[in-house]
Amino acid sequence: MTEPPAVPPLLLRRTAVAQGWSDDELARAVRSGELTRLRRGAYVDAVLPAEPAARHALLVEATLAALRLPGVVSHQSAAVLLGLPLWDVPLDRVHITRPPGSRSDRSGVLCTHVARIRDHDVVDVGGMPVTDPVRTMLDLARSLPHEAAVVALDAALHRGLLSHDALRARLFDIVGSPGARSAARAVAAADARSESVGESRSRVILQRWKPAPSAVQFPIRSGGGQLLARTDFAWEDVRLVGEFDGRVKYGRLLRPGQEAGDAVFAEKRREDAVRDEGWDVVRWVWAELAVPHRLAAKVRRAHERAGRRRR
């Protein structure tokens, strides 16, 4: 598991009052910048972290301390505390789960879910009860849009934070609960081979809009068997490969002492080598992921052109 976000110490009002602070003193400390108010009754002796996950971790700690009824930290709040990857997931509310018989609730800072949680679903994080990585990802798969759920699952699987077998086995624990079928669909669509958010989103779009690729992380070899490239996607029937181009990708390609232009030039030579082996190449960028039907149409046109060349 990756490390949870580093956060500054939290100061609760009740702790400050017990130490001799008055409410007026706390208010003056906030006005002077000595303290930063996180939420009602909770402060930090520092500037709030810029990283959304770090701010959310503080909010979880402050909110849990103010609960009258206990709950298990779950969903995206659990993912943050466990250091699990998220994409396009709101972090404005703290999510907890309580057992059946409780009341679901949603306020300005708290979202309460009602579901059965087994003892083995819960781990301790900094003294707080938190759903474990597998249960957390299944809860997210139940509640998030399909694309965001698959992106999160892909990233967790790729980093080795959990296994596909564990996800499939624990699906039985949520059978009959709201969103269970959505979770099963997301787990079936997840792929540990995806190396970025852009690749995961591309795969989801192409599976939905067609044509779905026949392979991912597909190796292209020379006639002598030398590995020339490992491409994001492939349509083997027409010898077409697809590549998602993101700035982060070119950063990953940089070797010590290289500049971005060097990586782009090396990628161009790599594409030339792929084409020399009789493969067509289609590329797309972040902006095209925002218009799925146009991306799918672009890939379909490339697929048709490649097919005509093979006839």
C-alpha span between 196 and 245 (Å, rounded): 11
| Whole-structure pTM value | 0.84
* CB 263 within 8 Å of CB 274: no
Listed in sequence order, the residues at least 6 apart from 310 whose beta carbon sits closer than 8 Å to its beta carbon are 238, 239
176 or 279: whose pLDDT is higher?
279
107 or 256: whose pLDDT is higher?
107
C-alpha span between 308 and 302 (Å, rounded): 10
* CB 91 within 8 Å of CB 73: no
Interval 199-209 mean pLDDT: 96
57-77 pLDDT, tens digit each: 999 999 998 898 999 999 999
Query: Beta strands 280-285 and 240-245: pairing type?
Result: parallel
Question: CB burial class (10 A; 0-12, 13-18, 19+) of residue 52?
Answer: middle
The token pair that represents 37 in the structure block: 């108010």
Q: What is the pLDDT of residue 311?
A: 76
Lowest mean pLDDT among 9-13, 77-81, 86-90, 179-183: 9-13
Q: What is the pLDDT of residue 228?
A: 93
139 or 6: whose pLDDT is higher?
139
In order of their start, the domains of the chain are: 1-65 (no CATH), 67-192 (no CATH), 197-310 (3.40.960)
The token pair that represents 18 in the structure block: 């017990």
184, containing H or E segment: helix 180-189
C-alpha span between 47 and 69 (Å, rounded): 30
Residue 17 pLDDT more than 60? yes
129-157 pLDDT, tens digit each: 999 999 999 999 999 999 999 999 999 99
Residue 250 pLDDT more than 50? no
| Sign of the Cα pseudo-torsion (243, 246, 249, 251, in order) | positive
Query: Beta strands 110-114 and 94-98: pairing type?
Result: parallel
- In which order are the strands placed within the sheet that holds 240-245? 215-221, 227-235, 240-245, 280-285
Interval 252-260 mean pLDDT: 53
Listed in sequence order, the residues at least 6 apart from 267 whose beta carbon sits closer than 8 Å to its beta carbon are 250, 253
Confidence bin at 258 (pLDDT 50/70/90): low
Q: What is the pLDDT of residue 12?
A: 79
Strands (DSSP E) contained in the chain are 10-12, 36-39, 42-44, 72-73, 94-98, 105-106, 110-114, 122-125, 128-131, 215-221, 227-235, 240-245, 280-285
Interval 170-199 mean pLDDT: 94
Average pLDDT, the chain: 89
Q: What is the pLDDT of residue 248?
A: 47
Q: What is the pLDDT of residue 265?
A: 60
162 or 50: whose pLDDT is higher?
162
The listed range with the strongest mean pLDDT (96-110, 197-211, 242-256) is 197-211
Query: Beta strands 94-98 and 215-221: pairing type?
Result: unpaired
The token pair that represents 273 in the structure block: 């080598």
Interval 277-301 mean pLDDT: 96
Q: What is the pLDDT of residue 247?
A: 57
